[in-house]
């Protein structure tokens, strides 16, 4: 009898001390999905946009500095490599192909790592793609046959600094940012012809600067009702700004939307997109910062590399992210804001 009690006690002790099989791990019990990076949730509202089951997928890597993701209804994505000076295409089979090299213009004397290549891009009228080029300091059109033609390159006879990102308004007006990142010495570069770094508006053949007091205007997006223009400023003051849009397309005085100047993690306010409810998904320090329309930080999508931009794809609920050397995506519950073209 005593021996049976001893054997039973030993068996119970062994069962309690034995490691749990993998399927019973705490990660599995909590429903943690496989994937890369992490998702920081600061507010319950985050779960309605980024489901607890959402995972970050890495689609490709090994690039220089990725930017400007652009989804095509045919099922593939274009993206820029700013330091590699090439526009590439990612297909659903994972295949990477080159679309345009050099993507931003020829600059054989620039040191390695210089921002000489292509940057933001959007769909334009008649099936073209509008692409920002740093070295050429212009916006070009890429036709369906991949031929390239100049679209805009000067204001009042002076060359742009280096167009960075762009967006259409529903009335057909084009807005774009023009910081000096493509100039090797930036503001101090002798080739810089404009005295300011502007946000421009182009409509009915007329080009006008609508914002000229930002140090580094970068990402750009409209609220769903187009009453607010959001601009990210990526250096010195690391902030997102909001501007009321006037009936004539110009904007009022800017107001601070969110400030990350004091953040210690790497990365600056950069490209951004909105969903149909007006929530903002903005590249910032270490991730895609998710904001409510009221400017509340709901959480951050952190792919493991610092993002520079993002865009909607697939059914409009998948967010594609360009981050340093890699391309990522995450499937969300939010419906992305549709582009004009």
Q: What are phi and psi of 259, to 5 degrees?
A: -120, 125
Quickly count: other Cβ atoms within 10 Å of residue 274's Cβ: 22
Enter the pTM of the model. 0.90
Give DSSP secondary structure letters for 75-101. Answer: TEEEEEETTTTEEEEE-TTS-EEEEES
For the domain 32-331, what is the CATH code?
2.120.10.30
Question: What pLDDT sits at residue 260?
Answer: 98
Question: Which of the residues in the chain have pLDDT under 50?
Answer: 1-33
DSSP result, 26-58: HHHHTTPPP-BSEEEE-STHHHHHS-TT--EEE
At residue 11, the pLDDT reads 38
pLDDT score, position 236: 87
Q: Taking the CB of residue 215, how many other CB atoms lie within 10 A of it?
A: 15
For residue 150 the two structure tokens come to 């100049």
Looking only at the bridges linking them, the beta strands covering 255-259 and 239-244 are: antiparallel
CB proximity list for 182: less than 8 A, separation 6 or greater: 104, 115, 116, 133, 134, 135, 137, 161, 162
pLDDT for 140:
98
Can you give the pLDDT at residue 34?
62
């Amino acid at each position: 009898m005593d021996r049976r009690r001893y054997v039973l006690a030993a068996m119970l002790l062994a069962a309690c001390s034995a490691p749990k099989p993998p399927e019973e791990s705490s990660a599995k019990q909590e429903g943690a999905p496989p994937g890369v990076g992490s998702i920081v949730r600061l507010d319950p509202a985050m779960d309605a946009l980024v489901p607890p089951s959402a995972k970050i997928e890495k689609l490709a890597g090994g690039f220089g500095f990725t930017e400007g993701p652009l989804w095509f209804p045919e099922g593939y994505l274009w993206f820029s490599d700013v330091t590699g000076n090439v526009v590439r295409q990612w297909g659903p089979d994972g295949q990477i192909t080159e679309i345009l090299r050099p993507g931003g213009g020829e600059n054989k004397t620039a040191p390695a790592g210089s921002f000489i290549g292509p940057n933001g891009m959007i769909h334009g009228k008649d099936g073209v793609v509008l692409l920002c080029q740093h070295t050429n300091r212009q916006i070009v059109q890429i036709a369906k046959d991949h031929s390239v033609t100049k679209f805009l390159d000067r204001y009042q006879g002076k060359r742009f600094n280096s167009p960075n990102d762009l967006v259409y308004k529903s009335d057909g007006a084009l807005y774009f940012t023009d910081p000096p990142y493509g100039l090797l010495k930036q503001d101090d570069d002798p080739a810089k012809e404009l005295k300011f770094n502007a946000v421009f508006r182009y409509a009915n053949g007329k080009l006008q600067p609508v914002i000229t007091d930002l140090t580094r205007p970068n990402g750009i997006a409209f609220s769903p009702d187009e009453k607010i223009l959001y601009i990210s400023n990526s250096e010195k003051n690391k902030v997102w700004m909001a501007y009321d849009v006037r009936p004539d397309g110009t904007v009022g005085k800017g107001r601070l939307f969110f400030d990350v100047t004091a953040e210690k993690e790497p990365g600056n306010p950069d490209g951004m997109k909105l969903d149909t409810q007006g929530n903002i998904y903005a590249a910032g320090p270490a991730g895609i910062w998710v904001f409510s329309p009221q400017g509340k930080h709901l959480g951050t999508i952190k792919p493991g590399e610092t993002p520079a931009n993002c865009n909607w794809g697939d059914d409009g609920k998948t967010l594609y992210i360009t981050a340093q050397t890699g391309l990522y995506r995450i499937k969300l519950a939010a419906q992305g804001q549709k582009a004009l073209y």
